[in-house]
Amino acid sequence: LRSQVGSPEEPSRRQPEGERSEGLAAEMSGGHGDAGMASGKMAKLKELLQKSENRICADCSAPDPNWASANIGVFICVKCSGVHRSVGTHISKV
């Protein structure tokens, strides 16, 4: 199993295509709530991105995925993120 990125309760905002993990970092710190809380989330995100199993797309094994499915808890590439978005948020929140 892959390390979980978020929970189904966390809101998901769509990031423009082509952004690397900075898009995920912006999502985690997004100006909502306490700065210390955002800092803790950033640290967790960086920790998850360093794991070897998160350095490839969970669906197609493309290197350096820059999107995530929060409710499934996996990192995915931009191509697979389109597929995840098309199936609906009841299946995968990207």
Question: Tens digit of pLDDT for each residue in 42-62?
Answer: 899 889 988 999 999 999 999
79, 94, 5: which is closest to 46 by C-alpha? 5
Tokens 């360093």 appear where? 50
- Structural domains in the chain? 21-87 (1.10.220.150)
Query: What tokens were used for 45?
Result: 């995100």
Q: What is the dihedral of CA 57, 66, 42, 16, to 10 degrees?
A: -150
pLDDT average, residue stretch 51-77: 94
Contacts of 44 (CB under 8 A, 6+ apart): 28
Is residue 33's pLDDT more than 70?
A: no
Q: How confident is the model at residue 27 (pLDDT cuts 50, 70, 90)?
A: low
Of the segments 12-16, 30-34, 74-78, which one has the largest average pLDDT value? 74-78
Report d(CA 36, CA 55) in Å as an integer. Answer: 27
Is residue 18's pLDDT more than 60?
A: no
